[in-house]
Chains A and B, each alone.
Chain A
Amino acid sequence: MEILRVENIKKWFPVRTGILSSILFGEKQFIKAVDGVSFTIDEGEVFCLVGESGCGKTTLARLIARLIEPTDGRIYYKGRDIVQMKKKEFRPLRREIQIIFQNPYEALDPRMRIYDILMEPIKLHKKHFEGDPDERIRTVMRDVKLNPDEYLWKFPHELSGGERQRVSIARSLMLYPKLLLADEPASMLDASVRSSILNLLTDLREEYNLTLLYITHDLAQAWYLCERIAVMYLGVIVELGKTDDVINSPLHPYTKALISNIPIPDPRRKTEAIEIKGEVPSPINVPPGCRFHPRCPYFMEGKCDKETPKYLDVGDGHIVACHLYE
């Protein structure tokens, strides 16, 4: 059953420009961080958004958590449009939709002890919390594999990056969320700590019956964790499908390039990386037609730089936006 439906969602941030440039250039400029994204997630699924930095992943997560308002588009949570919803109506849903941020050093208030950090969600939603708060805090600590007696009275600065990320996860679990938005939770952690966070999320998903939207720039993490993957480039999804389909038979030239460039910790497997020129352009001046066209090795003049490719389902929900497949 569908739990989340995102329809043609857009977030354009106005570019702060001086009066002079607005006179010179006339119309207002926008950073098109998210520029028409659609997908659905089923209940219990682990769905992954993959893309290089700046492609709009965090903005998308913040839109779904309703931390920011979209410029256009709809987001349905369990069939209800949360974009149109009044703040008060959304309040109970805030418990169900939780977000974990990338930077474990910024996510926790440095002046609060771990106990108080975990108590906060209970205080905020007092009316909806049943049971013994202390007991709940201890249970959740054990769920994220931290010994409550050892950690509850510590401050964030006394914890390592991995431990802080566990506390962030614990906080998000306090009120039994349904949909967890995990924005690169392992990206800033040391390699020796990263895998334990990935495994923890896998376990929690079972124990808590979670639906997980996992965000990462690392296709290897996406492959490991997720059932379906959406590949983003410059504010849009360029390919979406079951993990094995996308990884083993990528269709979009950008996905192909990304996969062939993944560093593999095994020198026996010399992968031939597809060379892609240049870097991601600014989301202020989005290339016309296919956004990837200035870098694409299969670029077709007159077509790719003129027409925006439509989404095509090649079967089994494997969707691609590229003129090569039309």
Chain B
Amino acid sequence: MSILEVNNLRVYYDTMRGEVKAVDGVSFKLEKGEIFSIVGESGCGKTTTSNTIMRILPPEAVIKSGSITFDGINLLEIPEKEMKKIRWKRIAMVFQNAMNALNPVKNVGSQIVDAITTHLNIPEAEAWRKVKELFELVGLDPSRLKDYPHEFSGGMRQRVFIAMALSCDPEILIADEPTTGLDVIVQRNILNLLRDLRKKLGLSIILITHDLAAVAQVSDKIAIMYAGKIVEYGNIYDIFTRPRHPYTYLLIKSFPKIGSKKERLVTIKGSPPSLINPPKGCRFHPRCPYAIEKCRIEEPPLVNINNKGLVACHLYDQLNLVI
């Protein structure tokens, strides 16, 4: 059963240079208890998507269309007062670059206590008990509750933010680039933590990242985003073994894969487009080695393939892309 459903979401930014079509027709479903990853290169609209779900967009952002259905409610239509009952309490988020956002002159424990008491009406002593539990839950040593942020490493600070996000027992956790900037060993530890939390708490998790390799081991489903759109969606086995979209395919083939034969890496010409004037037709066409005339003119719809996944490519049933 899906717990969250995003439908045809369009979010643009009004800027001096023009309208940035940051999210331009994004749809996906988050099933209860799954880890769903949104993967795409920087600037493709991932953070905008998650900020829209949380309804914390900056004033220059305009929601052009779409719905976000959570528990039968369209989050884009309810008043802020109602959203306050959902934000943090039922849907919580770990922000991108959160690691540097702790107050340096306040101990870590009391920062989480503050976060809890702002959202929940409970006495401070109980909040402290809660923080101690949360520390244990995310693998932090409760004896360090009174330590200051600078005494915590990057990975530990990321755990603090996960603890904070979990403080009101949400049903959905959105983690925006939770491992970016961390070293591989720490990255893996954080991803394992998310996997364990899903199991322990029955959480549904949206994991947002630019790192395709990182999510292969922990996700159930993946959406590949390119230039404001989801170009492919499916379970990880299908995506990584039998991708349908040329971008997904080329991206997977462009990673050096230790342990397999050393072959020349596949490259993708050019770079991601500006979202002020994105290419017409298929947004990937200027970089796509398979592009045909139709790709330049007509936008490919996101079609369902045997109920196994979605893909937006005119040639999805003609190309034989096997990893």
Mask, B238-253, CB within 8 Å of A = 1, is 0011000001001110
The distance from the CB of A319 to the nearest CB of chain B, in whole angstroms, is: 21
**Known contacts A196-B268, A220-B255, A259-B258: does B41 contact A191 (CB below 8 Å)?**
yes
For chain B residues 152-200, which have a beta carbon within 8 Å of chain A? Answer: 153-156, 183-189, 192
Residues of B within 8 A of A275 (CB): 189
Q: Is B278 an interface residue (CB 8 A)?
A: no
Shortest distance from the beta carbon of A94 to any chain B beta carbon, whole Å: 32
- Chain A residues positioned under 8 Å from B262 (CB to CB): 223-224
Instruction: Indicate which residue in B188, B258, B267, B268 contacts A247 across the interface (CB closer than 8 Å).
Output: B258
Closest Cβ neighbor of A217 among chain B residues: B183
Task: List B contacts of A53 (CB < 8 A).
Answer: 183
Is A284 an interface position by the 8 A CB rule?
no
Q: Which residues of B contact A192 (CB under 8 A)?
A: 41, 247, 250-251, 254, 268, 271-272, 287
> B216 on the interface (CB 8 Å rule)?
yes
Q: Are B183 and A279 in contact (CB under 8 A)?
A: yes
Q: How many contacts between A and B, using CB within 8 angstroms?
A: 126
B185 and A261 within 8 A (CB)? yes
A-chain residues with CB within 8 Å of residue B294 when the two chains form the complex: none
CB of A268 within 8 A of CB of B240, answer yes
> Which residues in window 134-188 of A have CB below 8 A to B?
160-163
Residues of A within 8 A of B210 (CB): 190-191
Do the beta carbons of A195 and B184 come within 8 Å of each other?
A: no
**Residues of A contacting B183 with CB < 8 Å?**
52-53, 217, 279-280
Which residues on the B side are within 8 Å of A261 (C-beta)?
184-185, 187-188
Given that A160-B271, A191-B41, A279-B183 are known contacts, is A267 also in contact with B240, CB under 8 Å in the complex? Answer: yes
What is the minimal beta-carbon distance from A142 to any residue of chain B, in angstroms? 16
Residues of the A chain whose Cβ atoms lie less than 8 Å from the Cβ of B101: none
Assembled-state Cα–Cα distance A191/B266 (Å): 11
Is A221 an interface position by the 8 A CB rule?
yes
* Bound-state Cα–Cα, A123 to B257, Å: 42
CB neighbours of A265 from chain B (8 A): 212-213, 216, 240, 252, 255, 257
Q: Is the CB of A264 within 8 A of B257?
A: yes
CA A198 – CA B210 in complex, angstroms? Answer: 19
CB nearest neighbor in A for B154: A279
* B5 close to A (CB within 8 Å): no
Q: A224 touching B256 by the CB < 8 A rule?
A: yes
Query: Assuming A258-B184, A263-B217, is B258 touching A219 (CB within 8 A)?
Result: yes
In angstroms, Cα B265 to Cα A52, docked, is 24
User: Roughly how many angstroms separate A169 CA and B68 CA in the complex, as a whole number?
Assistant: 46
Whether A193 touches B271, Cβ cut-off 8 Å, given contacts A224-B265, A262-B184, is yes
Contact of A262 among B153, B237, B254, B258 (CB under 8 A): B258
Give A247 to B192 CA distance when docked, in angstroms: 23
Interface size class of B (residues with CB under 8 A): 35 or more
By the criterion CB–CB under 8 Å, are B217 and A220 in contact? no
Q: Which residues of A contact B216 (CB under 8 A)?
A: 263-267
Give the Cβ gap from A31 to chain B, nearest Cβ, in Å: 16
Is the CB of B236 closer than 8 A to any CB of chain A? yes
Collect the chain A residues with CB atoms within 8 Å of residue B320's CB. none
By beta carbon, the residue of chain B nearest A53 is B183
- Chain A 32-45 per-residue mask, 1 if CB under 8 angstroms from chain B, else 0: 00000000000000
**Residue numbers in A under 8 Å from B102 (CB-CB):** none
Neighbouring B residues of A267 by C-beta, 8 Å: 216-217, 236-237, 240
A275 to B153, CA, bound (A): 17
Within 8 A of B (CB), among A250-275: 257-259, 261-271, 273, 275
Return chain B residues, CB-CB under 8 Å to A268.
237, 240-241
Quick check: A263 and B271 within 8 Å, CB to CB?
Answer: no
Q: Is B59 an interface residue (CB 8 A)?
A: no
A residues 192-241 touching B (CB-CB < 8 Å): 192-196, 198-199, 202, 217-221, 223-224
Chain A's nearest CB lies how many Å from the CB of B154? 7
Say if the beta carbon of B304 comes within 8 Å of chain A. Answer: no
In the complex, what distance in Å separates the CA atom of A271 from the CA atom of B260? 14
**Cα-based distance from A196 to B253 in the complex (angstroms):** 12
Contact across chains for A194 and B257 when beta carbons are under 8 A apart: no
Tell me if A276 is interfacial: C-beta within 8 Å of chain B: yes
Q: Which of B187, B213, B237 has the most CB of A within 10 A?
A: B213
Q: Which residues of B contact A276 (CB under 8 A)?
A: 185
Least distance between B4 CB and chain A CB atoms (Å): 23
Rank and list the top 8 A-B pairs by shortest CB-CB distance, nearest first.
A224-B256, A195-B254, A263-B213, A195-B265, A196-B267, A160-B271, A52-B183, A279-B153
> Known pairs A192-B247, A220-B255. 20 more at Cβ < 8 A?
A52-B183, A162-B271, A190-B271, A190-B272, A191-B41, A192-B251, A220-B256, A220-B258, A247-B258, A257-B185, A263-B184, A265-B212, A266-B240, A266-B257, A268-B241, A269-B259, A270-B217, A273-B188, A279-B153, A279-B183
Residues of chain B whose beta carbon lies under 8 Å from any beta carbon of chain A = 41-42, 153-156, 183-189, 192, 210-214, 216-217, 236-237, 240-241, 247, 250-252, 254-259, 262, 264-269, 271-272, 287, 323
